[in-house]
Chain A
Amino acid sequence: MNALYDFSYLTGSIHEWLSERVSPHAVTIVEMILVGISFMLLFAILGIVLVYAERKVSAFFQQRLGPMRVGKWGTAQTIADVIKLLLKEPLMNKEADKFLFNLAPFVIMIAAFMAIAALPFAKGLQALDFDIGILYVAAVSSLGVIGILLAGWSSNNKYSLIGAMRSGAQILSYELSVALSLLTIVVLTGSLQLSVIVESQADGWWIFKGHIPAFIAFIIFLIASTAETNRGPFDIAEAESELTAGFHTEYSGLKFAFFFLAEFANMFIVSAIGATVFLGGWMPLHIGSWEGFNAVMDFIPPIFWFFGKVSFLIFMMMWFRWTFPRLRIDQLLTLEWKYLLPINLVNIVVMAFLGLMGWHF
């Protein structure tokens, strides 16, 4: 079988090859290192690709060309930017809390790394397959807020502090909606395990199978996950025109780059979760009994399906950011607590009823 269609073949052969040569403990250690390196590589590639994509997408929304000078079509622009950020002097406020100030970017990065470990990229390509996958991802992705609060507090800058406090209120509120909208689908799958959720969509994605409640849950997930990643129109933690740069006002050089990278990584993570739960993860698009159509869709390798769906969701988030004005902090919290959360709760009850009666496809 082709390695592109089932990665368990590839990972299995690596495992066998290692097992023949070293002791079982060493195998585990080597495999952990390999997985760690691949995630770091994935992070680096994600950073470069997404920054470039954001610049180009925003440019096309704004009727400009975006970066064009470095490399063909400006493709090397991000690499040049990374080099610039590496060479920059890491400035620090004299009155800043040095330990927390240096710790904050790492907390955010670690949270992003932990979340990305549980994502099913393709068949057999998943580092951690917990039976509580969704719970785990929702839990660790909200750890990032600790980093933001630390950054705002330790910077000894009032703008940073306001930004961090805003961000704390925002992420904690929207975390509820993200988790509840995911639970709406869990009602149907009956499992929190991400691989099981993907497998359950072999004959159709939940957004199509789950009737209107699934669609409502998807919309809520889209709104709440945009807010959870601190992106426009919910970027009140940065709020350039109000707080200059919010919680990372005082950061420069590599530490700033960490915040920047974490934002894009988080965007990728929430899009990946959305794609996994609502849009079938790496499952190809299947329509009922159209055998020919399904066969053609199966021909496209699962990893392309996964990244295609994720790119679609990321593009949606970029589209929001470059179109809408920013909400005010009280409007943001009103939207969550007075609209999204009640709708979500009712939606779950409706979904549970549908599931109980077996009315979903």
Chain B
Amino acid sequence: MEEIITKELESQEYFINMGPQHPSTHGVLRLVLSLDGEIIRNVEPHIGYIHRSIEKMCEHDSYQQIVHLTDRMDYLSCHINNEAVCLAVEMGLQLEVPERVKVIRTIIGELTRLSSHQLWWGVMGMDLGAITTFLYGFRDREMITDIFEETCGARLTMNYNVPGGLMFDIHPNFQKRTKDFIAHFKKKLPEYDDLLSNNVIFRNRTIGIGKLSKEDAISYGVTGPSARASGFSCDVRKHYPYSAYDKVQFKEVLRSEGDCYARYECRIDEMWESLSIIEQLIDNIPEGPFKTPTKAVIKLPKGEWYQKVETARGEFGVYIISEGQKNPYRVKFRSPGFSNLSALNHMAKDSKIADLVAIMSTLDLVIPDIDR
């Protein structure tokens, strides 16, 4: 008995459930933390609280229907997810889409990335205790969602892409409103730096926290801005260009520090790059049809196709196996959030609870994307 008591007293670790309902897990992610006082010894993510078996659902849906399911995965990069499925199906059909479609897809994809990063910036500030940033992020994001609403009627889950092109042509106001937004946001983006990037508390909270080396990033399969902050050049837009990305000039934002601040800076710089990509394309949208006609029932020939795109969080892959039917035999999605989450324990070990919140925030997790 005495032995047990002394052992109990010596053992300082205790467990705490962070989530499924917690303000900073941004969804129904459950983290089981082993803590030694304030110091984290182990983080064990428990996922599956929002699993909807999207991959299985895809096996019963036509190819047009699959597209809208991907909206519900990473809802902040819905347009880019849709694009991935459409590109895969077009690859299977060996369908050439018009130039106009490629350019519009790229512009809206970059607007989606911007709106996602704006929301991330706001939430990042909120996680670190500066609630005001949340509303500033939303203020600027509102302009983009308004553009989306005018273009396709939806603000968040847009479902604007269809295999072969777009659902409708762009609205006549689209170019003007996008240019207005760029002019507005170019003034506001330096404000973001004033409020967070150059704030001494923010810098102390992020610099040197949650280090991830390039090797670890590669072996955990981390992609997107989180990996590029560690120096891993993995931008799909640059290495495997799709849509109109081979026609525009942009830098792949790379950092070498691999800490929270580097991941933060990466996303801020990506916003500047996205603005420049949109600026290059917005006046050069070619004339032409907005869709290559497809049959009402798309049947892919027997075979396998893989298409990857760069979402706001990293590499999103669609793997389609077809048996020649109107439904796919099997669909596999490679979602960036899942692999990024796997590096969390490695990064958060032996840091404080407050650091874990900062690390999770800079990984920019979207939980439906992890669970699918």
Q: Which residues of A contact B (CB under 8 A)?
A: 58, 61-64, 158-159, 162, 166, 232-233, 235-236, 239-244, 322-331
Contact = CB atoms under 8 A, between A and B. Distances in A.
Given A63-B139, A324-B199, A325-B196, A241 B127 contact: yes
B129 A235 contact: yes
A322 B129 contact: no
Given A241-B24, A241-B357, A330-B352, A325 B38 contact: no
A242 B132 contact: no
B354 A323 contact: no
- Per DSSP, chain A at the interface is loop
Interface centre among A64, A232, A241, A327 (most CB of B within 10 A): A241
A327 B195 CA distance: 15
Contact of A328 (B23, B139, B355): B355
Contacts of A64: 135
A322 B354 contact: no
B23 A240 contact: yes
- Please give me the 5 A-B residue pairs with the lowest Cβ-Cβ distance, nearest first: A326-B129, A325-B128, A62-B135, A241-B24, A325-B130
Among the interface residues A62, A158, A242, A324, which one has the most CB atoms of the partner chain B within 10 A? A242
Given A233-B129, A241-B129, A326 B38 contact: no
B202 interface: yes
Interface string B11-26: 0001010000011100
9 contacts: A58-B131, A63-B136, A63-B139, A158-B16, A233-B130, A241-B129, A325-B130, A325-B199, A328-B352
Contacts of B196: 325
Nearest to A241: B24
Contact of B201 (A239, A243, A324, A329): A324
B132 A61 contact: yes
Contacts of A326: 128-130, 201, 205, 354
Contacts of B355: 328
A329 B352 contact: yes
Given A233-B129, A329-B38, A162 B353 contact: yes
Given A63-B139, A241-B23, A325 B14 contact: no
A240 B131 CA distance: 10
A162 B35 CA distance: 11
A329 B22 CA distance: 20
A58 B135 CA distance: 11
A325 B135 contact: no
B126 interface: yes
Interface of B: 14, 16, 22-24, 38, 125-132, 135-136, 139, 195-196, 199, 201-202, 204-205, 352-355, 357
A330 B130 CA distance: 18
A239 B129 CA distance: 7
Contacts, number: 80
Contacts of B38: 162, 166, 329
A77 B151 CA distance: 39
Given A158-B16, A322-B132, 10 more contacts: A62-B132, A162-B38, A232-B129, A242-B357, A322-B131, A323-B130, A325-B128, A325-B129, A325-B202, A326-B130
B201 A242 contact: no
Contacts of A239: 129, 354
B130 A324 contact: yes
A159 B128 contact: no
A236 B201 CA distance: 13
Nearest to B195: A323
Contacts of B136: 62-63
Given A241-B127, A244-B23, A329 B354 contact: yes
A232 B199 CA distance: 15
A330 B352 CA distance: 9
A64 B132 CA distance: 11
B135 A244 contact: no
